[in-house]
Structure 1
Amino acid sequence: MSDASLTSAQSPAQANEAGFGDYFALLKPRVMTLVVFTAFVGLIAAPTAVHPIVGFAAILFIAVGGGASGALNMWWDADIDAVMKRTARRPIPAGKVTGDEAFAIGMTLTAFSVVMLALATNFVAAGLLAFTIFFYVVIYTMWLKRWTPQNIVIGGAAGAFPPMIGWAAATGGISVESVLMFALIFMWTPPHFWALALFTKMDYDNAEVPMLTVTHGRPSTRRHILVYTVLLAALAIGLGFTSIGGPLYLAVALYLNARFLKGAVEIWRRDETMAEADKYLAERRFFKASLLYLFAHFGAIAAEALLTSLGWGLW
């Protein structure tokens, strides 16, 4: 066989051969970034000091737990991922990784992360991590996502637990402050995902996922975004007057929420003719701004914690 024929014969197998990047993609690394960051903020904002090695271990195992959730989510959602343009290149629909492999990886990482977090910190943090994985995989992925347009509203709780887990890793418990950080992410999730759904509506139509844009239409979704953004702004600004807030956080919250509200109003005022004409640019801008919004708020909480630890806190 010639070299050219050999190359041709090998290429299909090589095209479907999974590499490290494919297995890593199962863990949803972009989502994991948010999980790690908010958990880290919850850890350092807690009033109890944590040894750096313990803190590092806690964040590592929380990240692994987040990755486990991602792998199990991809295992269950492989059928709809295959028909959605946004997700068709994920490892399972792309034929790089099998569903059985994804399930095995997800379950193994789940057990590893929960047990190790319990050993490294405490059972409260480990219990919260186990419940978070269960909530995301079973309550959201297996049940809510394909059943109700409120999937993102209720299911958003899964992504809101990491700062509570970080706080519990440091303190061994749950407090008002950790619940407020949970609430900030919980209220942020619907407008964040509904903005995405506005310019990817056909994906959810094709996959028969009852996203709000599919069941109630885009005008209703725009109104929901505005309402949730108003509620989110009130919560985010109010958090500035708690023990984990402060003047720096409050300044950041006032600025960002003014801009976020402006974006929500702009989306609310639009009709489909306007949106189609500019390829949903306003919705795309709002979605991208929502990512900065959350990172900036939690970054400000972290900054306030640092100032307090240095004795410069004003609240």
Structure 2
Amino acid sequence: MTTDEIRAAFAHPALRAEMTLPGTAPLDRISLRDHVREVEIGAFQQERGRTQRLRFDIVVEVLREGPVDDDVDRILSYDRLTEAIDAELASERVNLLETLAERIADRILLEPQAARAFLRIEKLDRGPGALGVEIVRLKGGTGRGAELVAPAPQPRVVFLGAGMLDHAALPAMLDRLIAGDAPAVICLAAPDLPRPRSPAALAQRRIDLLAIEQAAWVLAGRDRRCLVVNSRTELDWAMRRRQLCVWAPSKMVLDAVDGPKASDGLSLAVWFAETMGALELCLIGTDDRVQAVVPVRRASMETPL
């Protein structure tokens, strides 16, 4: 790996193409530029007990399996780059930029789509210019592995039956979910209102799913703390930030290879809780019997969650 090749990673795409791995077609890239953080780092005594600005530039070559089709779950999200930085900065204090760069690259290359990572980290406060390191790493090149994989967040899934969005205790219940010990995802029943009927099963399935999504947008419109989410990528991002989520089921259900057979809100909530490895499924506003591989608890709008 030449210095020119490392520098080309951050250059114009035409120059980058000249530095493609031998024998391979040019790969797509995603990048993070001019990301500045205040960090305590350094081997010298004068760098201890104080922070200094670091600037991060990251380029990742990514593998594609078929067209993206404007689907966020088929790409490597930019958030995974900033999360890799955050995770390593929170792990422990290090002396060397080289160490930090290695660890961030290791973490990024655990992503399935990541093929090669280029990192530049610069200290902005150590002299009249920027002092830094540049590295490039290939997937599987360092040996650090499973211990870096952050476990997926385990949510508390709360199912609200029909009519629960008009319950007077709804705001207080949302307060408790936000203050709870786990990220919360709300699943909803379809509104108890007439909806179109279709003789085509797939068309009716979409109609039923859209009815639930209408309820999700009603809840989000009433309380701005609720974020409507429809993809695994956005769910993961939101749960890691303890954002209160409301599930819009169409995308995950229709994309699933072995998805749920029924389209009623409760059946979908059970499938979703099992798919996400939920801590528990809390049922509010329904007396229907439920079987699930995750713990199921009946609750009310007034009881702790």
TM-score above 0.5: no
Compare CA radii of gyration and give the structure with the larger one. 2
TM class by shorter-chain length? under 0.3
| More strand as a share of residues | 2
- Calculate the TM-score normalised by the size of structure 1: 0.27
- Calculate the TM-score normalised by the size of structure 2: 0.28
| More helix as a share of residues | 1
Question: Does 1 or 2 have the higher relative contact order (CA < 8 Å, sep 6+)?
Answer: 1
